[in-house]
C-alpha cells in the first residue's frame, strides 16, 4: 500500500552537512511523497539543478555565484554527498518532482555592502543553537550531543517516527527563537521573509503538498503566520547586482571549519563514512584506519582492529552513548594501533577524519572562457587538479614539461596560485623546476576574476603583464615582472615591460634600488636559452643598469653607513657580483669594470669594515687578488689602529656567510694567524662588544670546519701550518704549548665537566 501524500507543508529542519539529517530527509520524503521540494539556496541556481543528475557530477561540489562586473565579490553554497540538501535534490530528480531554491537571491546578498551569502563566514554566528541544546541536555560538546541524538539514530522506522524527529527539533528551535530572537543574525529576518514568499508561490501551484528542506534554525520563522505586506516591507529597497552562477568542485577539507567555511563541520571524512556505510560503521572505519597505517609501514593486524572495536564500544558504554562516536573511535585507535602516539593519529585525522576528496562537475556546467581554456590545457598536459599536495618535477629540455612550466607561471602571474615553486630534491640547474600543486575551490573565483584580461590563459597573462608594467611604481616591480614574463613565455608582453623598465631605470638615482633590480634582470637573460624565449633585448638594459651601479656604488658605500645599512649594502654587493657574472657575456669589459669597483671598495678606509672585507673576499675568490695582498689588507684591517667593531665587521664580511670562509682559513694559515693574533689582542671591554659579530661569523661554520680550526689553533705551526716568509711562525702560534695560558682555563673546564 503506497503512503498517502502529505497534508500541509512539510518543514524538514536539518543540520547542514549532517549525515543523520540526510538519512532522515530521505526517509521523510519517501514517506510523505511531496509534489515539490523547496531547498534553502539561491534561486539563481535553479537553472543549474538539472546538472546534479549528470553522470559527470560527483560531490562535494558548490554553487558559485559572483557579481558579473566584479568576480571577486562571490559566495559559495557547498554540498557534499551526505548533505541533506543534496539528498533532497537527488530524491526530487529521481522521482520526477520539481525542485527549487528559495533562499534570498545572491543578487541581493552580494550587493549588500559588508555582507556575504550564507555559508561564506561573513555573517558571524553569535548564537550556536546546537551548543545551547547540548548544554541544556547536559553535554559539554555539541558534536557529541548531535551524534547521540541524530547521527546514531536509525532511519528505517515508520514515517510517523521520522517526521516526529523533525517536529521535536523544530519545537526545540522554536523555544530558542522565543528566548533569543534572531540570535544575532539580523539578516536572517530578511532571508526568512523571502523564503515565506517562495512558499506562498509554491502553495498556489501545489497546494500544501510540498516539502521544505532548510536549516533547523529557520523552521519556526517559516512556520510563523505573517502577512504578505510585512514580508514585502522587510524586502523593500534591497540593493541588487547582476550575478553569474555555476557549479564548481569542492573538497572535504574546505567543508571543515578549519578551512574557513562558516557553516562547516569538523569531520567531513567521518561524516561521509557514516552516510555511506551500509552497516557496522565503526568496524568498517577502523578497517580503513588499519589500511592507512599499513600504507605507512606500520605493523597493524586484524587483531588490532578487533581490539580497537572492543575498546571503542567499551568506552561508549561507560559514557552512556548508544554507539561509539568519533571521540571513542580515535581514542581506541591511539591506544591500540598507534601505541599511544599522537603522530600517526594526526595522519589519520588529516587523511580520514577530514580528507582530501575533490568533487567533479560535468563539462556542461557554465564557465568563463578562461576556465574553459585552462581545462583544455590541463587535459592536454595531463595536469589533473587534486586536493592534496603533490610535487611535480619538470625537465625543461622536454617540450611537455616546458609547456607545463609555462602554464603554471602564467597562472601565477594572473594570481591563480595552483602551483608554487619549490626547492628541487633531484638537484639544481636551470633545466629543472619543482612545483608543489594543490587545487583549492577558491581558485574558481580567481579564474573568474582573471577572465577580465582575456579568454585564454596566454592572452590574459599577456594583457595583465602589460597593465602591471604600466602601473608599476618602482623599478624592482618592473624587473620582477620582466622575469615573470620570460618564465611564462610572454614574448608579446616583453616590449611594453622593457619600455617601462628602461624609463624607470633612467630616472632612478638610488643605487640600492638599482642594485636590488639587477639580479632579476641577470637571471632573466638565461631563460632565452632554457625556454626558447628571446631574452637578448634585456641585455642592453641590464648592462646599462650595471654601468650605473659601478659608477655610484663606491660613493654610496662611503657615506657613513650604520651597521644595518652596511649589512643591507653588503647584500646588494653580493647580488650585483652574481648578476655581473651572468651578464659578462652580454656586456664587454663589464667584469673588469666591476673588479675595479671591488678593488676600490677593498682599499677605501671610509667604507665600513663589513663591505671592505666582503670586497676583498670576492676579489680573492675570482683570482684577482694575490694571497700576499689579501694578507696585507687583512693586516691593515686588524691593526691596533682599527676599532674592534670595524675589524670584527671586516672579518664577518671576509669569512662570514655561506661563502666558504671557514674552509679558506683551514687552508691558509697566514690568514688564520692574523685573525688569531688580532683576537687575543682585543681588550676585554671591547671583546664583549664584538663577540656577537664573531659568534655570528664563526658559528655558521660546519662542525667539521670548526673542529679543524680548533685543532690548527691548538697545534700552532707544528702541524699543517705553513711558515710565513722569513722562517718565523705565523702570528698567533707558538712552537709549543704555553702551560700558563693552558692552566688559566683548567678550573673552568673542571666546573663544566663536573657531574650535576
Distance CA 543, CA 28 (A): 76
Task: For residues 216 and 136, state if they share a domain.
Answer: yes
738 belongs to a structural domain: no
Nearest to 52 by CA among 44, 60, 42, 43: 60
Count CA within 13 A, CB hemisphere, residue 518. Answer: 30
Look at strands 61-67 and 10-14 and give their pairing: unpaired
Q: Verify that 174 and 89 share a domain, yes or no.
A: yes
Cα 179 to chain centroid, rounded: 42
Residue 645 in this model has a pLDDT that exceeds 60: yes
The cell numbers describing 379, all together, are 587535459
The string of pLDDT tens digits covering residues 551-600 is: 888 888 875 678 888 888 888 888 888 888 777 665 667 888 888 888 88
Give a yes or no: residue 331 inside a domain.
yes
235-244, 256-265, 540-549: segment of lowest average pLDDT: 256-265
Give a yes or no: residue 677 inside a domain: yes
Verify that 251 and 285 share a domain, yes or no: no
581 and 644 co-located in one domain: no
Instruction: Mark which of 242, 267, 292 sits at the end of a domain.
Output: 267
In this structure, the answer to whether residues 620 and 642 fall within a common structural domain is: no
The C-alpha atoms of residue 609 and residue 612 are separated, in whole angstroms, by: 5
| Distance from C-alpha of 245 to C-alpha of 75, rounded to nearest angstrom | 10
Which pLDDT does position 269 carry in this prediction?
92
Do 598 and 643 have their domain in common? no
Residues 595 and 664 in one domain: no
Quote the mean pLDDT of the chain: 82
Q: Say yes or no to pLDDT of 204 above 90.
A: yes
Of 296-300, 400-404, 599-603, 635-639, the range with the lowest mean pLDDT is 635-639
| The total number of structural domains that make up the chain | 5
**More confidently predicted of 166 and 150:** 166
Using only C-alpha atoms, what is the Rg of the chain? 36
Range of the domain at 373: 369-453
Average the pLDDT over each of 187-201, 226-240, 413-427, 455-469 and give the range with the smallest value: 413-427
Residues 438 and 341 both lie in one domain = no
605 belongs to a structural domain? yes
User: What pLDDT sits at residue 242?
Assistant: 93
Contact 404, 392 (CB under 8 A): yes
Percent of the chain with pLDDT over 70: 87
From 1-5, 405-409, 732-736, the region with the lowest mean pLDDT: 1-5
- Region class of 383: left (phi > 0), else alpha (psi between -120 and 50), else beta: beta
Q: What is the arithmetic mean of pLDDT over 224-241?
A: 90
DSSP string over 41-52? S-GGGGGGGGGG
In a domain, residue 730? The reply is no
Predicted pLDDT at 409: 94
Same domain, 531 and 446: no
252 and 293 part of one domain: no
Q: Residues of 197-210 as b/e, b for ≥16 C-beta within 10 angstroms?
A: bbbeebeeebeebb
User: What number of CA atoms fall less than 13 Å from residue 393's CA on the CB side?
Assistant: 6
For residue 492, tell me if it sits in a domain.
no
Sheet with 61-67, edge to edge strand ranges: 70-79, 61-67, 243-249
705: nearest Cα among 729, 674, 737, 672: 672
Q: Residues 14, 161: one domain? A: yes
What pLDDT score does 264 carry? 64
**Domain-embedded: residue 472:** no
Domain termination residue (choose one: 322, 352, 382): 352
CA 658 to chain centre: 29
Distance CA 193, CA 182 (A): 13
Backbone angles phi, psi at 509, to 5 degrees: -110, 0
Which of the residue ranges 72-81, 199-208, 349-358, 705-714 would you say has the lowest mean pLDDT? 705-714
Task: Grade residue 634 by pLDDT with cuts at 50, 70 and 90.
Answer: confident
What does each C-alpha distance from 575 to 484, 515, 554, 578 come to in angstroms?
A: 19, 7, 15, 5
Q: Considering the chain, what percentage of its residues have pLDDT values greater than 90? A: 30
Task: DSSP letter for 65, please.
Answer: E
Would you say 681 and 643 are in contact if contact means Cβ atoms under 8 Å apart? no
pLDDT of residue 724: 40
- Domain C-terminal end among 419, 437, 453: 453
* 291-300, 376-385, 476-485, 515-524, range with the lowest pLDDT: 515-524
> Do 273 and 284 contact (CB within 8 A), yes or no?
yes
Over residues 541-554, the mean pLDDT reads 80
Query: Does the residue 610 lie in any domain?
Result: yes
701 & 571 share domain: no
Amino acid at each position: 500500500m503506497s503512503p498517502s501524500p502529505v497534508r500541509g507543508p512539510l518543514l524538514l529542519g536539518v543540520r547542514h552537512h549532517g549525515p543523520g539529517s540526510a538519512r532522515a530527509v530521505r526517509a521523510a520524503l519517501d514517506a510523505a511523497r511531496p509534489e515539490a521540494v523547496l531547498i534553502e539556496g539561491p534561486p539563481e541556481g535553479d537553472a543549474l539543478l538539472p546538472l546534479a543528475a549528470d553522470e559527470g557530477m560527483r560531490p562535494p561540489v558548490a554553487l558559485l555565484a559572483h557579481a558579473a562586473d566584479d568576480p571577486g565579490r562571490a559566495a559559495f553554497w557547498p554540498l557534499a554527498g551526505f548533505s541533506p540538501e543534496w539528498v533532497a535534490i537527488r530524491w526530487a530528480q529521481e522521482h520526477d518532482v520539481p525542485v527549487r531554491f528559495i533562499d534570498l537571491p545572491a543578487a541581493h546578498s552580494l550587493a549588500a555592502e559588508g555582507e556575504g551569502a550564507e555559508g561564506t563566514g561573513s555573517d558571524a554566528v553569535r548564537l550556536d543553537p546546537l551548543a545551547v541544546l547540548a548544554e541544556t541536555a547536559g553535554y559539554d560538546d555539541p558534536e557529541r550531543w548531535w551524534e547521540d541524538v541524530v547521527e546514531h539514530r536509525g532511519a528505517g522506522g515508520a514515517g510517523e517516527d521520522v517526521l516526529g524527529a523533525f517536529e521535536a527539533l523544530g519545537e526545540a528551535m522554536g523555544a530558542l527563537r522565543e528566548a533569543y530572537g534572531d540570535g544575532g543574525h539580523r539578516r536572517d529576518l530578511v532571508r526568512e521573509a523571502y523564503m515565506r514568499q517562495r512558499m506562498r508561490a509554491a502553495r498556489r501551484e501545489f497546494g500544501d503538498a510540498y516539502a521544505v528542506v532548510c536549516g533547523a534554525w529557520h523552521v519556526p520563522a517559516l512556520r510563523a503566520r505573517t502577512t504578505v505586506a510585512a514580508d514585502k516591507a522587510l524586502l523593500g529597497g534591497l540593493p541588487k547586482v547582476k550575478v553569474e552562477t555555476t557549479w564548481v568542485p569542492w573538497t572535504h577539507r574546505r567543508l571543515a571549519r578549519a578551512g574557513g567555511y562558516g557553516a562547516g563541520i569538523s569531520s567531513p571524512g567521518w561524516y561521509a563514512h557514516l552516510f555511506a556505510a551500509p552497516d557496522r560503521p565503526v568496524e568498517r572505519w577502523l578497517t580503513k584506519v588499519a589500511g592507512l597505517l599499513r600504507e605507512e609501514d606500520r605493523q597493524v593486524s586484524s587483531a588490532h582492529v578487533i581490539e580497537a572495536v572492543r575498546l571503542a564500544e567499551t568506552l561508549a558504554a561507560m559514557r552512556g552513548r548508544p554507539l561509539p562516536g568519533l571521540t571513542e573511535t580515535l581514542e581506541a585507535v591511539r591506544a591500540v594501533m598507534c601505541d599511544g602516539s599522537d603522530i600517526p593519529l594526526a595522519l589519520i585525522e588529516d587523511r580520514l577524519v577530514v580528507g582530501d576528496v575533490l568533487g567533479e562537475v560535468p563539462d556542461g556546467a557554465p564557465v568563463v572562457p578562461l576556465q574553459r581554456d585552462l581545462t583544455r590545457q590541463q587535459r592536454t598536459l595531463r595536469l589533473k587538479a587534486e586536493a592534496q599536495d603533490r610535487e611535480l618535477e619538470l625537465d625543461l629540455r622536454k617540450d611537455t614539461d616546458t609547456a607545463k612550466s609555462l602554464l603554471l607561471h602564467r597562472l601565477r602571474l594572473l594570481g591563480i596560485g595552483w602551483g608554487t615553486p619549490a626547492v628541487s630534491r633531484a638537484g639544481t640547474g636551470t633545466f629543472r623546476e619543482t612545483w608543489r600543486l594543490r587545487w583549492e575551490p577558491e581558485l574558481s573565483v580567481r579564474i573568474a576574476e582573471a577572465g577580465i584580461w582575456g579568454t585564454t590563459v596566454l592572452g590574459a597573462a599577456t594583457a595583465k603583464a602589460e597593465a602591471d608594467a604600466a602601473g608599476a611604481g618602482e623599478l624592482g616591480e618592473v624587473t620582477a615582472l620582466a622575469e615573470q614574463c620570460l618564465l611564462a613565455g610572454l614574448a608579446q608582453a616583453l616590449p611594453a615591460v622593457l619600455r617601462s623598465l628602461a624609463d624607470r631605470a633612467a630616472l632612478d638615482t638610488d643605487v640600492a634600488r638599482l642594485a636590488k633590480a639587477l639580479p632579476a634582470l641577470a637571471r632573466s637573460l638565461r631563460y632565452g636559452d632554457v625556454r626558447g624565449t628571446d631574452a637578448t633585448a634585456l641585455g642592453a638594459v641590464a648592462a646599462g643598469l650595471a654601468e650605473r651601479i659601478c659608477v655610484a656604488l663606491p660613493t654610496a658605500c662611503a657615506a657613513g653607513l650604520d651597521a644595518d645599512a652596511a649589512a643591507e649594502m653588503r647584500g646588494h654587493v653580493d647580488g650585483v657580483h652574481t648578476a655581473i657574472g651572468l651578464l659578462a657575456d652580454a656586456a664587454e669589459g663589464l667584469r673588469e669594470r666591476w673588479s675595479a669597483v671591488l678593488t676600490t671598495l677593498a682599499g677605501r678606509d671610509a667604507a665600513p669594515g663589513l663591505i671592505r672585507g666582503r670586497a676583498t673576499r670576492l676579489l680573492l675568490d675570482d683570482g684577482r687578488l694575490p694571497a700576499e695582498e689579501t694578507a696585507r689588507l687583512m693586516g691593515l684591517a686588524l691593526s691596533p689602529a682599527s676599532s674592534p667593531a670595524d675589524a670584527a665587521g671586516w672579518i664577518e664580511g671576509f669569512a662570514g656567510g655561506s661563502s666558504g670562509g671557514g674552509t679558506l682559513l683551514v687552508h691558509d694559515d697566514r690568514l688564520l694567524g692574523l685573525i688569531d693574533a688580532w683576537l687575543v689582542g682585543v681588550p676585554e671591554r671591547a671583546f664583549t662588544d664584538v663577540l656577537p659579530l664573531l659568534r655570528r661569523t664563526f658559528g655558521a661554520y660546519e662542525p667539521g670546519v670548526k673542529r679543524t680550526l680548533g685543532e690548527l689553533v691548538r697545534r700552532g705551526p707544528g702541524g699543517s701550518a705553513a711558515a710565513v716568509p722569513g722562517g718565523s711562525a705565523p702570528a698567533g702560534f707558538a712552537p709549543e704549548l704555553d702551560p700558563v695560558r693552558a692552566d688559566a682555563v683548567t678550573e673552568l673546564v673542571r666546573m663544566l665537566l663536573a657531574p650535576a
